[in-house]
Amino acid sequence: MINYLRKIRKKLAVDNKPLKYFRYAFGEIILVVIGILIALSINNWNEIRKEEQQEIISYCKIGEDIESDKNRIETIIESIVERQLVCKQLLLKLHSTPKNKSVIIDDYLFAVRSDVFYPNKAAISAITSSGKLSLLHNEELKKIILEYYTEMENSLRIIYTNQSEVTNRIFQYDNILEMGAHQTFYREEYGKELMDLFPNINWQRDKNNPYFKKFEEHIAIAVVINAREKQILEIILSKIEPLLLSLNVACNR
């Protein structure tokens, strides 16, 4: 294109010899300007294209992280359902006043345990820490993503606080050995010699015994805490589904 314009410009310059040099110089300037503008336009287009590609990759990576969160949450909810069943069965066993304390102690630690969930924030952390949040041009989707992580942090703060309420009660018994915590599946770690030295109080036969009451209260609280955790996680899941759909569209555009 430029060569074609140059030929036309030279021809015009020949037609009027006194102006030949001026036309030639002016033509060269025009050609240089046109070349620069074309180069800038191509460079601009390339930069825009790179940003668009980076934006798409970012949506894809965020989607992968949130998909990972979804799978982990679903697994935790399954675990909570199982723990709830154990807790309820444990309370029933407790009130049947079993002669052998191991009937309830064996399930005790599983009933009061908890799952720790850490959301996968690799992609969003990399984007925000590098100052590239502006690359996400879909303002509505960006707002939903940021709200998701903010709400996730708030929800997990509630869950961790509630879980601590259950965990801390393990250490609120007057004597953890008299309660019988050593008689769980860790009994083999202690060995027979130590097990024979530790106290073996059958408090489960007396509903008025302080250990019976604390144990009952502990498991009853665990049922409530588990139910609340499951409720919070299900709310998070309900928000993940539409977010993943939007991210999938942005990732495959």
Average pLDDT score over residue span 198-209: 91
CA dihedral 90, 96, 97, 98 (to 10 degrees): -70
10 Å Cβ neighbour count for 101? 18
Q: Residue 49, class by beta-carbon neighbours within 10 Å (0-12 exposed, 13-18 middle, 19+ buried)?
A: exposed
Predicted confidence (pLDDT) at residue 71 exceeds the cutoff of 90: yes
Give the mean pLDDT of 19-40.
61
pLDDT for position 53: 87
Q: In the predicted model, what is the mean pLDDT of residues 56-75?
A: 95
Distances (CA, A) of 87 to 54, 134, 168: 49, 49, 17
Asked if the model's pLDDT at residue 77 lies above 70, the reply is: yes
Indicate the pLDDT class of residue 22, thresholds 50, 70 and 90: low
Rounded Cα distance, 139 and 86, in Å: 46
38-52, 183-197, 199-213, 216-230: segment of lowest average pLDDT = 38-52
pLDDT of residue 20 exceeding 60: no
What whole-number distance in Å separates Cα of residue 24 and Cα of residue 44?
Answer: 30
Q: Convert the pLDDT of each residue in 83-100 to its tens digit.
A: 999 999 999 999 988 888
The per-residue pLDDT for 161 is 94
> What percentage of the chain exceeds 90 in pLDDT?
49
Structure token digits, residue 235: 């709310």
